[in-house]
Amino acid sequence: MALDRAQFQDLFAAERDRVFRFLYRLTGNAADADDLLQEAFLTTWRHRSQFDGRGSAAGWLLRTAFRLHLNWRRKGTRRLRLAGRVEPLPLDPPAPPASRNGAAHSPESRDARAFLVERVKAALVSVPEDARTAFVMFRFEGISVSEIAAIVDCPPKTVETRIRRATLLLSESLRGLREQLPAS
């Protein structure tokens, strides 16, 4: 069941932003994410006859994007090490909850939030790649464990273990954070 042109256009319109955000969080760089996004859609179009209709086309696209990311990372690892560049994962913090009276949060509250986001970013970079990838997909992209398992080609229990591992490592890494918070 190959995707026809109209189905592919619908897939592109529906999934472009999601796949870009996914790749952006994996690469840490908008330009690299955009390049991989284009390559993912191009590869999906070129190999559309291989889509057999099992699962969703969106899942197949995410799996393609993830595999392209893995190839890109393997090629770029040496280059990044030589350049001494390590970029933290970008995390778009969720919007803060509205206060009870509807007033905007204080500058101190925003500063504390920014402080926390930076610490979580730094801690997440130190999590092993497989656990970090599963954690980002599950917690930030809202992808189900079964979908992640299909994307990374491993059993769902392995994905659950990776998410738990990342959560435990982050918890340990951020344990002393409460004492570092700015006074409010």
Q: Is residue 158 part of a domain?
A: yes
63, 65, 66, 70: CA torsion to nearest 10: 130
Identify whether residues 57 and 114 lie together within a single domain.
Answer: no
**Residue 11 pLDDT grade (very low, low, confident, very high; cuts 50, 70, 90):** confident
Query: Averaged over 127-156, what is the pLDDT?
Result: 89
Identify whether residues 114 and 142 lie together within a single domain.
Answer: yes
Domain boundary among 21, 55, 87: 87
pLDDT on residue 81: 62
Domain boundary among 56, 87, 118: 87
SS3 12: helix
Query: Averaged over 128-148, what is the pLDDT?
Result: 88
What are the pLDDT digits (tens) for 12-68?
899 999 899 888 888 878 899 999 999 999 998 898 888 777 778 888 888 899 889
Tell me which residue range forms the domain holding 156: 104-184
Identify whether residues 52 and 78 lie together within a single domain.
Answer: yes
pTM of the model: 0.63
pLDDT on residue 93: 42
pLDDT on residue 58: 85
pLDDT on residue 135: 92
Identify whether residues 61 and 125 lie together within a single domain.
Answer: no
Identify whether residues 9 and 42 lie together within a single domain.
Answer: yes
DSSP 48: G
Both tokens of residue 137? 């997909």
Cα 3 from Cα 151, distance rounded (Å): 19
pLDDT on residue 4: 81
DSSP 182: P
Identify whether residues 13 and 83 lie together within a single domain.
Answer: yes
What are the pLDDT digits (tens) for 152-177?
889 999 999 999 999 999 988 888 77
Q: Is residue 96 part of a domain?
A: no
Identify whether residues 64 and 11 lie together within a single domain.
Answer: yes
What are the pLDDT digits (tens) for 85-101?
554 444 444 444 444 44
What are the pLDDT digits (tens) for 98-125?
444 444 567 777 787 787 777 877 888 8
Identify whether residues 77 and 111 lie together within a single domain.
Answer: no
Identify whether residues 125 and 76 lie together within a single domain.
Answer: no
Q: Which of 156, 147, 93, 152 is nearest to 119 (CA)?
A: 93
pLDDT on residue 82: 66
Both tokens of residue 99? 């206060």
Close Cβ partners of 95 (under 8 Å, ≥ 6 residues apart): none
- The region that residue 153 occupies, defined by phi over 0 for left and psi between -120 and 50 for alpha, beta otherwise, is left
Find the CATH number of the domain harbouring 14.
1.10.1740.10
Find the CATH number of the domain harbouring 174.
1.10.10.10
Q: Is residue 170 part of a domain?
A: yes
Q: Is residue 3 part of a domain?
A: yes
Cβ–Cβ under 8 Å, residues 3 and 11:
yes
Total domains in the chain come to: 2
Cα 124 from Cα 6, distance rounded (Å): 39
Domain boundary among 87, 117, 145: 87
Cβ–Cβ under 8 Å, residues 136 and 26:
yes
Q: Which of 61, 67, 68, 65 is nearest to 13 (CA)?
A: 61
Identify whether residues 82 and 108 lie together within a single domain.
Answer: no
